């Protein structure tokens, strides 16, 4: 399987931004009990780098949701594939997302988690494509606003390929 890509954001640019975001999150949650909820699978690389860059302690948990399947365009139908292992009742929760596109998946996830009575619920995303937004949702913390191009690398995939790329790349063409 091969694909032609173009680097959009280098690993160095990404690491610098992650450190900036971690400093802000550390300041905002300095005296709180922070729970990072990672949206699998794409956000796991971002979560790891963010967690290592925080100046405060944080617990982590994972959710897997899907609205893409094997497609490159969201179906709009959200399914929870893996739920949290613990209660978030009265916890300060920060959803860690890789990219916000239409916002449909994240909007569903936010409403689902709000129904579980967290003390606070915020969203951090590495990437945002605001021009694609359908749902009314905005991140509380955002690394980069990017153009409407299909991106892979740094944990993001196309049909489970390209996650290993250290840079964030635009997928120009794909050959099976």
128 is catalytic: no
Highest mean pLDDT among 22-31, 72-81, 157-166: 22-31
Catalytic residue among 33, 49, 85, 101: 101
User: Across all residues in the chain, what is the average pLDDT?
Assistant: 92
Predicted local confidence at residue 2, as pLDDT: 55
Q: Exposed e or buried b for every residue in 63-86, given b needs 16+ CB within 10 A?
A: bebbbbeeeeebeeebeeeeebee
Rounded mean pLDDT of 128-149?
95
Predicted local confidence at residue 176, as pLDDT: 45
pTM attached to this predicted model: 0.91
Q: Which CATH number fits domain 11-146: 3.40.190.10, 3.40.50.2020, 1.20.1050.90, 2.80.10.50?
A: 3.40.50.2020
Orientation of helix 44-53 relative to helix 11-28, angle to 10°: 60
pLDDT at 82 over 90: yes
Q: Which of 16-25, 48-57, 144-153, 167-176 has the lowest mean pLDDT?
A: 167-176
84-101 per-position pLDDT tens digit = 999 999 999 999 999 999
Domain ranges of the chain: 11-146
């Amino acid at each position: 399987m091969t694909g032609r890509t173009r680097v959009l954001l280098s690993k160095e640019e990404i690491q610098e931004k992650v450190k900036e975001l971690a400093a802000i999150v550390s300041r905002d949650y300095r005296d709180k009990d922070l729970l990072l909820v990672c949206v699998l699978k794409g956000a796991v690389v971002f979560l790891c780098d963010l967690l290592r860059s925080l100046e405060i302690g944080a617990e982590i948990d994972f959710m897997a949701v899907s609205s893409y399947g094997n497609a490159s365009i969201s179906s709009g139908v959200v399914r929870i594939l893996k739920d949290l292992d613990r209660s978030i009742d009265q916890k300060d929760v920060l959803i860690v997302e890789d990219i916000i596109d239409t916002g449909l998946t994240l909007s569903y996830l936010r409403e689902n988690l709000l129904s579980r009575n967290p003390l606070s619920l915020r969203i951090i995303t590495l990437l945002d494509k605001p021009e694609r937004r359908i749902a009314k949702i905005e991140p509380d913390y955002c690394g980069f606003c990017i153009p409407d191009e299909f991106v892979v690398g740094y944990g993001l995939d196309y049909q489970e390929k390209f996650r290993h790329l250290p840079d964030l790349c635009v997928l120009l063409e794909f050959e099976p």
